[in-house]
Every structure is written in C-alpha cells, then in structure tokens.
C-alpha cells in the first residue's frame, strides 16, 4: 500500500484534533494540509497542544485549493459548509464529512431539522449497520454519523431487526461536553458544567433525532418512532445511552436477546457485548474505537433495555471516520484504531 496523504479541514476543533491524534498513529498515513476557519494562520499547538509531533504546523485557510492534491480529505466543519468544498475536490478524492450535511436521505427531514440547501446524501459511515459496509468500500464520499446516532443505532438495531422489540424506542443519552465542539457558549464553561447535569433538546427537537430514526427505520424496514433526550454531564468525552422499547413477546429472556446481539456483532471488531452482569462505562472506551454494549430484559415492565457506551470523539466521530477511510481505500478496517481505552 502506498502512503495515504490526508488533509484535515477544521483542524483546530475537537473533531479535527481527534482525527489528527488517530491519523498520527496510523501506519499508512501521511499528514498533509491542516486548515481552519478563524484560526488560520496560527500554530496548531495553540489549539491542540496534545498533538506534540505536529504542534508547530501552521494552519492554512479551509479552501479547496489548500485541500486539493490529497488522497483523503476530512471535513470537520459546521454543517452547511461541506457540499461546496466537496464539489471542488474531484470525484477521485476521498472526502469524509464529519459534519451533518450528507447524512439525511430525506430532503424534507433536512429542511425541517437543519434548513438551507439540501446537499444530498453520501454513503453512511457506520459500517456495522446492515448493508453499510458494502457501500463504503471504494466509495469516495462518506457521511460520518453523528455521535448520538452511532451509539444508539448500534444499541437498538439488532433487537429491532430480530423482531424482539416494538418499533417505539425511548432513548436518554448522557454526553460529555466535547460533543458540543469548542463553542464559546456560557453553558459550556467549566464552572457551569462541573457539578451539574442538564437536559437539552428535549421533546424530539435535537438534530440527531431524524438520523437515529433513519437508521432504525432502515434496519427494521418499516417506520420506527424515536423519543430522544440528550443530557449534558460533567466529563469531556463519552456517551452513555440508555435505550429501551417494549418487548414484542418474541424474547422471553435475556439469553435470547444476547444471542441475537452476539449473532449480529460476532465479527465486528469494534462492538463488544460485555459479559453478563457487567455494564458499560464510557471510561473504558475513552480514546478507543469501541462500542460497549449490555442488555437486560425487564420482566416487570416488559421492556428491553440496552445500554451502550462510546467515546463521542473517537467511535462517535473521528475513529468512525478513520474506519471508513480504511474501508474506502482498501486498507484493513481496523488499521490505526485503538481497541483499548485510556483508564482510569
């Protein structure tokens, strides 16, 4: 394999930083252009001091000109910024969009949840979903999923697909604050975040709702109703999702459910159904590309509860993106992707 020369647009943000952390450790990658918006012209190390080996690199402008001439270009930009850039990058360049622009297959959903011109949809970068991996191989465009859709779709789709639960799912997902990016908003200040928990985007208004719905509906083949509540918690990284739905009656017990999950995920290198009795923690996934899962059947409430844990920046964004790059370029899917977390 020749070396893959990559560029990152949005290198001063959290997603960009995590992409670079992973790509620096990727044996087949060479880091090319690093670009930014308002931070163009500054040293990368001012924003990402943890990327010591490339801290002295100076950020360029996020223009097509600067991003051209690479094998793969990662876009870690606010939504609405990717389509125009991608159009200028050529069809043979692998463009991996970590933003939302090309995730939704339904333009009406785009209009309702995001607005602005609909940019169409690209192969969806969650290889563990049915049919997704095949569409990613050799693709030159990838839409990286949102962080919440990653952890929750993988938690729920096997049970839906196996007919074990009703198509009305209820999700409460707790997240660290890096999910909001490096946004200068008062509620994201350390003093506000530490020592407090808060709900936001309640009542189905969070933009990841239609994406979760899209994934689960596709997995089942018929409409799935999704109630989604995100909660902000005092930690930098991690999403713990509590996902549940009524049992259909097909699943009498936990063993049946475990078998369904084991079957679906048996060969998945990044999905780990924990041993019975052990529950996922986000700490165990920190900095890794793993999804940790556990299931429980609540016989009183007649509901299945599935809990998933991921690192929102790794499997939830940058790790998922690198996994897709590997698939698209014919590299082994797991190359350069940690399966151990950094704990405690």
Active site residues: 147
Q: Do 243 and 170 contact (CB within 8 A), yes or no?
A: yes
For the bound state, the minimum distance from the C-beta of residue 304 to its own copies, rounded and expressed in Å, comes to 9
Question: Interior CA angle at 175 toward 36 and 210, to 5°?
Answer: 80
Please, what is the minimum distance in Å from the beta carbon of residue 211 to its own copies? 13
Report residue 249 as tokens.
């009656």
Minimum CB–partner distance for residue 174 and its own copies (Å): 5
Nearer to its own copies, 107 or 302 (CB): 302
What secondary structure does DSSP assign to 245-275, as a single string?
A: EEE-SS--SHHHHHHHHHHHHTT-TTEEEPP
Phi, psi (deg, nearest 5) at residue 80: 95, -5
Cis before 344? omega within 30? yes
| Exposed e or buried b per residue across 290-309, where buried means at least 16 C-beta atoms within 10 angstroms of its C-beta | bbbbbbebeeeeebbbbbbb
- CB–CB of 31/23 below 8 Å? yes
Coil, strand or helix at 170: strand
By C-beta, is 291 or 327 nearer to its own copies? 291
**With respect to its own copies, which residue has the nearer C-beta, 115 or 131?**
115
Closest distance of CB 269 from its own copies, Å: 10
Query: Between residues 13 and 60, which has the closer beta carbon with respect to its own copies?
Result: 13
């Amino acid at each position: 394999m020749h070396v893959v020369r990559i560029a990152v647009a949005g290198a001063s943000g959290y997603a960009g930083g995590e992409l670079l952390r992973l790509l620096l450790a990727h044996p087949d990658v060479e880091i090319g252009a690093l670009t930014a918006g308002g931070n163009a012209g500054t040293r990368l190390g001012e924003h990402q001091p943890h990327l010591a080996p490339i801290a002295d690199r100076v950020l360029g402008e996020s223009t097509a000109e600067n991003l051209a001439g690479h094998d793969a270009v990662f876009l870690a930009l606010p939504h609405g910024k990717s389509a125009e850039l991608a159009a200028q990058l050529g069809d043979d360049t692998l463009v991996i969009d970590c933003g939302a622009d090309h995730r939704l297959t339904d333009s009406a959903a785009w209009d309702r949840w995001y607005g602005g011109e609909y940019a169409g949809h690209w192969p969806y970068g969650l290889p563990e979903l049915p049919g997704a991996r095949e569409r990613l191989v050799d693709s030159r465009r990838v839409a990286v999923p949102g962080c919440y859709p990653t952890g929750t779709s993988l938690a729920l789709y096997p049970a839906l697909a196996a007919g074990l639960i009703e198509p009305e799912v209820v999700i409460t997902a707790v997240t660290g604050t890096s999910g909001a990016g490096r946004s200068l908003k008062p509620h994201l200040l350390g003093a506000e975040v530490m020592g407090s928990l808060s709900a936001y985007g309640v009542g189905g208004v969070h933009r990841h709702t239609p994406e979760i719905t899209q994934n689960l509906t596709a997995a089942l083949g018929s409409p799935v109703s999704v109630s989604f509540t995100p909660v902000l918690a005092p930690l930098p990284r991690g999403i713990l999702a509590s996902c549940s739905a009524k049992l259909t009656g097909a699943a009498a017990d936990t063993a049946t459910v475990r078998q369904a999950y084991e079957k679906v995920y048996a060969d998945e290198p990044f999905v780990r159904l924990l041993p019975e009795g052990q529950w996922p923690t986000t700490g165990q996934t920190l900095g890794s590309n793993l999804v940790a899962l556990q299931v429980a059947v609540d016989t009183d409430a007649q509901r299945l509860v599935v809990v998933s844990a991921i690192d929102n920046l790794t499997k939830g964004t940058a790790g998922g993106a690198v996994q897709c790059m590997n698939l698209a370029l014919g590299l082994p899917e797991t190359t350069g992707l940690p399966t151990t977390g950094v704990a405690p």
